[in-house]
Amino acid sequence: MQDAILVLNSGSSSLKFGVYRRGPRDEELVLEGSADGIARDSGSLRIKSADGKTILEEDHVLESQPAALQKIARALAQQNDASPVAVGHRIVHGGPKLREHQLITPEVLRELKAAVHFAPLHIPPALELVKEAQKIFPDCPHFACFDNAFHRTMPEVARHLPLPTKYYNEGVIHYGFHGLSCESLVHELGDELPRRAVFAHLGNGSSLTALVDGKSIDTSMGLTPTGGVPMGTRSGDLDPGVLLYILRTEKLSADKLEQLLNHDCGLAGFSNGESDMQALLKRKDAAAKLAIAAFTTAVRKYIGAYAALMGGIDLLVFTGGIGENSEEIRRLSSDGLDFLVGEVRVVKTQEDRQIARHARALLANSKAKAKKKADPSLRSG
């Protein structure tokens, strides 16, 4: 535990975490857990060891992510005397200037604050959590791992939205997300990853990514994680005229429209409020069937489009909560695509372990730079 990496992975009302140590071949999980239902009466905190043994289980209200982190930190301190050597933070969006995993410095925090308008639902709570984590763990470096960094390899034809160029220059581009999940799959598959692949990360948030030689060339989510296929509560892609219609007829503010698109649409919109795929699969009513059909049809369309883009698909990978656990959704999403897809596999996403890998590598790099700076004999020239 003397070389532990703490990984923090925050959602809109949850905070997942993992503690990893350096193993002989890869990062090894020591502890993991989550604070769920933050700011709700159903709030809970769960911590368990790598073998699944429950270490802590509490049901209570956690009013914020920083409060949840404080509780987690106290629980971890009781399990382990050593502080982490680094903390890795999953940051959904870093705006146009933060596209690589890196040390969190005052300048990085300033850039994140300046990029709030790119992801107003995600960046403010991420900043708040980083600030609290730095207070709790002041003696170790904190690293930002950006969920859209993997997609910076997309060509301009995929990045450039059909808008006036001035918006492209301002950073209004196709970013893509679930990049840490994609990176973990590339790492897991290793030499078994063929030249042309599609990763279908299906969960409450869903996206599909086309890869050539292990690099992203296109992905379904766009400027924000709201785009692409319809998701649990997010709309996915929409005709811009739909948004204009809603704005004109209902006189919504930008914040109200954002709330609608991210929390009341997708599966919940089709099914009159139900966003959980497992619950929809158990229902037999027309609204539930429509939600399932709309979701799987959209996924199938993207798979077909990426097959056309790459001239075929050597490997289709399903991952994420729905992708890994629902055989029916996988079947419906790939039905009729045998002539386009060479092989279909299910691979568990390991976003948190991927963050630990990045944090470990960034820590080693920063130590090497510090050593080089301190010892003139190690400098080049």
61 in a structural domain: yes
152 in a structural domain: no
Please confirm, yes or no, whether 147 is among the known catalytic residues.
Answer: yes
- pLDDT on residue 76: 84
80 in a structural domain: yes
**Residues 38/62, Cβ–Cβ less than 8 Å:** yes
Going by C-alpha positions, the residue among 327, 18, 301 that lies closest to residue 145 is 18
Check pLDDT > 60 for residue 229.
yes
Phi, psi (rounded to 5 degrees) for 112: -65, -45
**What tokens were used for 351?**
């976003």
Start-to-end CA distance of the chain, whole Å, equals: 39
DSSP string, 254-295: HHHHHHHHHHSSHHHHHTTS---HHHHHH--SHHHHHHHHHH
CATH assignment at residue 362: 3.30.420.40
Q: Cα separation of 69 and 250, whole Å?
A: 39
- pLDDT on residue 262: 94
- pLDDT, tens only, 81-130: 678 999 999 999 999 999 999 999 999 999 999 999 998 888 998 999 99
Task: Domain of residue 224: give its range.
Answer: 191-349
- pLDDT, tens only, 121-172: 889 989 999 999 999 999 999 999 999 999 999 999 999 999 999 999 999 9
The distance of Cα 53 from the centroid of its chain, to the nearest Å, equals: 26
Q: Cα separation of 247 and 76, whole Å?
A: 48
Query: Do both 219 and 345 map to the same domain?
Result: yes
pTM equals 0.95
Of the listed ranges 129-133, 178-182, 371-375, the least confidently predicted one is 371-375
Check pLDDT > 80 for residue 378.
no
Query: Do both 331 and 366 map to the same domain?
Result: no
Query: Do both 360 and 325 map to the same domain?
Result: no
The domain tally of the chain equals 2
Q: Cα separation of 262 and 225, whole Å?
A: 9
Strand order in the sheet with 313-319: 215-219, 207-212, 196-201, 313-319, 341-346
Check pLDDT > 60 for residue 234.
yes
Q: Which of 3, 36, 59, 147 is catalytic?
A: 147
Query: Do both 235 and 110 map to the same domain?
Result: no
**Residues 88/358, Cβ–Cβ less than 8 Å:** yes
